[in-house]
Structure 1
């Protein structure tokens, strides 16, 4: 006779309720600080160790699948756990409850940012831009160790960074990602291959095909968006493009979003970096910064509609992809070539993020040797001491304000 806890550990679909999924993810959405990697640890502790909704094997393969696909990996894992546990409504509840707390906090910051004028407000915003320097530097450091650990992948990452720094445009970024996939076939032969695994689901390959077809159609529309379309539709297309092409974690969305929302004049570069810095101070997924950016488009005229379009646009492609890929994972995981291509893509996105650390993050935020010192201390907090991003936010903002006050004192 099988014990109930053992049955739950197998991850059988449809065994839970939407209410329990919503409650579990709402708690995580309000307390999961630390970024995507930390979120995966929270999920493991909550759903594998404590609740036993999944066993170790299923959870490991679920994480591998979500890292294989573009999109926000931790949000895709959370959505998939809800989907496996309580069907489509469970997946939707998991996504909404994990995402909305951070989205609402960033919307509140957007409403306050208009009032942050004057020397102290400007200093606080500048501190958030220095947070972005520290966080992206820590992201490059961590991702390089994990995704470019050998000579071939390190060289691939360096070449990708050089190409993007020289020709910082959307076609170059896409070319770098595609080139990483092609070169990965030959350069990443020693990458460990993931064994095949299947997931218990309430739907099959027919529904999966509809999801993947919908993703492809929307991506084509987003890539060829017309300037004659309504403003909000163009904004949604821009966020959808960014959400469709992000490999390697939440930090990598930075250069893609920067090109779309800043490069097109929708949001100023200062507002963009301030929002990215503020996103480090809230729990939940980093992609929730789309709520802030959607509100801020066209000089802050986006409002709630812009925030909603931004969130839908940036998250939808990743959710469509993972829902479509779950029934097909056994076939995908058998192909060793797919593993090598993914390794090449991941190495290329390390270079993409390194280029973003230089432009726009560094050149927009660092204006003096004191700024360098503040950002370095923030980086040491994250990469060396492994403190929460909240500590880095507090340090950078406080130090920036203190340096402004010290300047006032010197003048007096």
Structure 2
């Protein structure tokens, strides 16, 4: 790597160690670092980059980081940004899976239940925050409710992709497109040919299931995590229902262990997609252990890298399309519906066992929403309480 790529790695490693609070908070940390402190971007460039990454499937904060690294130091800079931002939480999550699932000790039942209750609170908080931003009009709110009802009535994997596509089509019909801004916008020095190759690779890898991998094989696991990462609109929280379908439904991991890991990932800094590392290390399919965790991480993040490399060289032209933001508005409303359905089933259905659980979740929501307690603080409180009272 070049010296500039190492500098990118160092900056993002520090962010990966300190950026608590989820994807929206990460974008705030990034702006302070790259616009205010380091001055690698202007404010208008950063705002446009965030808009691009919000439109693309995948973890928006990680994609923003990859794009900044790409602009500073080329492909090695994009990889350095991803590794630096992802490494701390990835090590923690894979280590957790190995220690409590493969080490034989197991997670105490009270801690498991505490983590599951945290998952309810975190998902509910995410639904509320996203609904306030994406469901400001009656048509958007109705689209969100319709998507949630469809997903609860027909909880199949293909229905998740269908409602996202339908959201884009409905958004186009709203005739609410916003014209692209004037000025040069965010640009990177990446030729179009490598960009086209990256987009072709993104599409080809999405067709991996056609190769007929054996159920639970390494190829099957890679394909499942790749497809989840390729169609996650809305950020890290939305990957939860997609991975639940990919991992729990075929019996690779129990629902309790899945939700325990999802609760634990709220307590670590960095991208929520490192939850995939926990799943890959803990589940019975694929190589398991460290190899399984690394495999799942590479698979779930690879679509994001390919899309950043593929879209940015063409963005100067795409940004002139007058209907792009209208389609995005529909996708965002559908994503809120996807999260709302996941909140009802399986998150709340498997975690709320009585009135006391409901009261605890409400207390966690008040702590996060009104008192501004960070999610990791709520997680630690519930884990300690579960260990103390029910462990």
Q: Normalised by the shorter chain, which TM-score bucket?
A: over 0.9
1:266 aligns with 2:239: no
1:129 aligns with 2:116: yes
Cα gap change, 1:361 to 1:116, in 2 (>3 Å) = farther
Secondary structure at the aligned position of 2:234 is classed as coil
- For structure 1, the residue ranges without an aligned partner over 5 or more in a row are 1-14, 406-412
Counterpart of 1:195 in structure 2 is 181
Secondary structure at the aligned position of 1:30 is classed as helix
C-alpha separation between the residues in 2 aligned to 1:284 and 1:317?
18
Among 147, 150, 157, the alignment partner of 1:170 is: 157
Cα gap change, 1:56 to 1:357, in 2 (>3 Å) = same
CA offsets 1:356-397 (integer angstroms, 9 cap, x no match): 001110111111111111111111122222221122102222
How far did 1:193 drift? Answer: 4.1
Point out 4+ residue stretches in structure 1 off by more than 6 angstroms. none
Counterpart of 1:4 in structure 2 is none
Counterpart of 1:239 in structure 2 is 225
* 1:34-183 alignment runs, 5 A limit: 34-114=21-101, 121-183=108-170
How far did 1:226 drift? Answer: 2.0
Counterpart of 2:238 in structure 1 is 252
C-alpha separation between the residues in 1 aligned to 2:186 and 2:313?
7
Counterpart of 2:334 in structure 1 is 348
C-alpha separation between the residues in 2 aligned to 1:182 and 1:390?
37
How far did 1:21 drift? Answer: 0.5
C-alpha separation between the residues in 1 aligned to 2:117 and 2:86?
25
Cα gap change, 1:116 to 1:32, in 2 (>3 Å) = farther
C-alpha separation between the residues in 2 aligned to 1:116 and 1:57?
52
How far did 1:199 drift? Answer: 3.5
Q: Is the 8 A contact 2:147 2:163 kept in 1?
A: yes
Q: Is the 8 A contact 1:99 1:288 kept in 2?
A: yes
C-alpha separation between the residues in 1 aligned to 2:194 and 2:124?
40
Counterpart of 1:206 in structure 2 is 193
- For structure 2, the residue ranges without an aligned partner over 5 or more in a row are none
How far did 1:398 drift? Answer: 3.0
How far did 1:227 drift? Answer: 4.1
Cα gap change, 1:230 to 1:193, in 2 (>3 Å) = same
Q: Name the stretch that deviates more: 378-387 or 152-161.
A: 378-387
Q: Is the 8 A contact 1:103 1:291 kept in 2?
A: yes
C-alpha separation between the residues in 2 aligned to 1:193 and 1:403?
56
Cα gap change, 1:16 to 1:159, in 2 (>3 Å) = farther
Among 331, 335, 349, the alignment partner of 1:363 is: 349
Secondary structure at the aligned position of 2:207 is classed as helix
Counterpart of 1:20 in structure 2 is 7
Cα gap change, 1:141 to 1:247, in 2 (>3 Å) = same
How far did 1:299 drift? Answer: 7.4
Q: Is the 8 A contact 1:225 1:234 kept in 2?
A: no
Cα gap change, 1:230 to 1:356, in 2 (>3 Å) = closer
Q: Is the 8 A contact 2:280 2:289 kept in 1?
A: yes
Secondary structure at the aligned position of 1:77 is classed as helix
1:298 aligns with 2:310: no
**RMSD of aligned residue pairs (Cα, Å):** 2.0
Q: Is the 8 A contact 2:218 2:286 kept in 1?
A: no
C-alpha separation between the residues in 1 aligned to 2:340 and 2:188?
38
